[in-house]
Structure 1
Amino acid sequence: MKVFFVLAALLAAGNALPIEERVNGENGWFIPKLDGSFEWMEKQDAEELLANGAQMEGRISTNAVNFYLYTRSNPTDGKEIKAKASSVDASHFNKDRGTRFIIHGWTGRYTDDMNTRTTKAWLSKGDYNVIVVDWARARSVDYASSVLAVPGAGGKVGEMIKYLHEHHGLSYDSLEVVGHSLGAHVAGYAGKTVGDQQVHTIVGLDPALPLFSYDKPNKRLSTDDAHYVESIQTNGGKLGFLKPIGKGAFYPNGGKKQPGCGLDATGSCSHGRSVLYYAEAVTEDNFGTIKCGDYEAAVSKECGSTYSSVRMGAVTNAYMVDGDYYVPVNSAAPFGKIE
């Protein structure tokens, strides 16, 4: 990883665009740092860094990905499973249940609130196979290093999905993969690995923007990665994408900042709200939406006041949703609003 730090430092030393000309995600990115601050990187420099890093990725680094199964029989004590018959057979995995994969973002781990909250939400609705993914490279202190690990981590998730389908009867039709931030792109690569839009649903919770390009869908979560892709965009233009990622793109409070988050200089509160909203949507199905003509209307909250029949996060969205939706929200739980 030392090579990445050195390369990044060299690239960052070049002539930077004036502050007023910097557009996050367009001509460069504001790269998040562990202390909550950001460092600007020009697009050309960033793409060179990613290209050089990708060449070295397979040779010099590990990319450990582990899987922990939760069911109503073990709702709080995850059972690690591996792609081996003895491992899966000794677990509570049941092919007759729906399956949910949950994937954390940068700095996360499988025991984090994002995972436990979403696991609890799904198990409150039924006895699902909830498989929480732990990808260790998410905990790289250098954000770019975690980005470089996304394709490999997603590939391993996709291989695990295929293994469970081929050898243990996992149904693609009742499969949903949920990823937050960088985890949303890991979910995208998992879908690409399974291929042919066989994964039924992917839900991207504020898919990460830094070092990802809207015009390169093959290198991020995209609409083609599953039969249906839904994005819930809560810190658009900063930590998350503002342009629509999914076939169904949902914009709570316009998608940039969330009520109740205060100044939120780092964007972390608004970014994290996507998880809180989604877990509440699973349990309460209470996020009414207003259909918009395009995402710009959703962002500017100019979609009228007539609620649609669509609820954000609903399982049925895979069969009826296509387009961009404004989502009114409260500043505290319960966050959802319905007509």
Structure 2
Amino acid sequence: MKVFIVLAALLAAVSAVPIEERVNGENGWYVPQADGSFEWMTTKDAEEMLNNAAQIEGRISTNAVNFYLYTKSNPTDGKKIESKASSIEGSHFNKDHGTRFVIHGWTQKYTDDMNTRITKAWLSKGDYNVIVVDWSRARSVDYASSVLAVPGAGAKVGEMIKYLHEHHGLSLDSLEVIGHSLGAHVAGYAGKTVGDRRIHTIVGLDPALPLFSYDKPAKRLSTDDAHYVESIQTNGGKLGFLKPIGKGAFYPNGGKKQPGCGLDATGSCSHGRSVLYYAEAITEDNFGTIKCSDYEDAVSKKCGSTYSSVRMGAITNAYMVDGDFYVPVNDKAPFGKIE
């Protein structure tokens, strides 16, 4: 009887100890798996795993990064370019045209829909050098392996930007680097590599949250990586960040879940909407926005109903935008709403 009473007391004591609530991005992450499921990893375990893996990564890294140039002269057949004179001079690269680097995320490659949509959108608006980045380690079935490859991939993109600027007249003042998900952080590391805020604009399309910390801006896309950083946040708190990443942070439908995506258990539909919205914003300039006092008001849709003069994704945002914006959207294309 005494034993039973002691055991009961111990069980009561254990049950009284609060179990720490799992908050994605705060005390750990729900890390996506290849089969669409998620596995919880605490901050401590994740940092230990990433630190140990980074040591191995440094010794065996084979993170190939390739660049494919699209212009109005070759809008659908990308020309592979390298950082050497014969390669650039033998391509359609034109220093007098604005340049766009486009960077895909996990499990993708350069010919995937995200890249073709954005390339087509920019070429429909004028003469641009659209350089699509293909970083091979993104196709690792292990998400953490792709995360480990982000700094190196970003450095290689940054080196290519510096090469084109120093040797072939690429204008940094008209340069825009666009990255989706993990690709947004690759863009951030490209900006860090170029340094001195010399990249004009970086656009992060729902920058990836799992295994990235908001309080460690040196290890993710941050507002210091370019003259202007814009973030379009569509699956905040799950696959993407909820707290503002850009100097201009845009929250379509409050930034967590997108209309027309149904149940969207994995978040992939809402996550991918950032790409569809951005491509439409380029061609249509039709995403009206409502200025919010802070991101929490944007998420809770408590920013009033008065539209601002700012359009999400507009090329002029670099000169006029600072703050958090709620973006009303439709559940199907055209997604943008204007007053």
1:62 paired with 2:62, answer: yes
CA deviation after TM superposition for structure 1 residue 18, in Å: 8.8
Distance 1:231 1:24 in 2: 19
When normalised by structure 1's length, the TM-score is: 0.94
- Amino acid aligned to 1:156: K
Aligned pairs for 1:1-339 (under 5 A) are 21-339=21-339
Structure 1 segments (4+ residues) deviating >2 Å: 17-20
For residues 12-46 of structure 1, the C-alpha deviation after alignment (integer angstroms, 9 at most, x for no partner) is xxxxx998710000000000011110000010000
Number of paired residues?
A: 323
- Amino acid aligned to 1:85: A
Distance 1:276 1:142, change over 3 A: same
Distance 1:250 1:337 in 2: 14
Structure 2 unaligned residues grouped into runs of 5+: 1-16
Where 1:279 maps in the other structure, the secondary structure is helix
1:4 corresponding residue in structure 2: none
Of all paired residues, the percent bearing the same amino acid is 88
Distance 1:292 1:181 in 2: 24
C-alpha RMSD of the superposition: 1.1
Distance 1:58 1:263, change over 3 A: same
Distance 1:307 1:77 in 2: 40
CA deviation after TM superposition for structure 1 residue 114, in Å: 0.1
- Amino acid aligned to 1:189: Y
For residues 125-148 of structure 1, the C-alpha deviation after alignment (integer angstroms, 9 at most, x for no partner) is 011000000000000010000000
- Amino acid aligned to 1:326: Y
- Amino acid aligned to 1:22: R
- Amino acid aligned to 1:228: Y
- Greater gyration radius: 2
For residues 149-168 of structure 1, the C-alpha deviation after alignment (integer angstroms, 9 at most, x for no partner) is 00000000000000000000
Distance 1:316 1:214 in 2: 27
Distance 1:30 1:58 in 2: 26
Where 1:36 maps in the other structure, the secondary structure is coil
Distance 2:287 2:218 in 1: 30
Where 1:75 maps in the other structure, the secondary structure is strand
Where 1:316 maps in the other structure, the secondary structure is helix
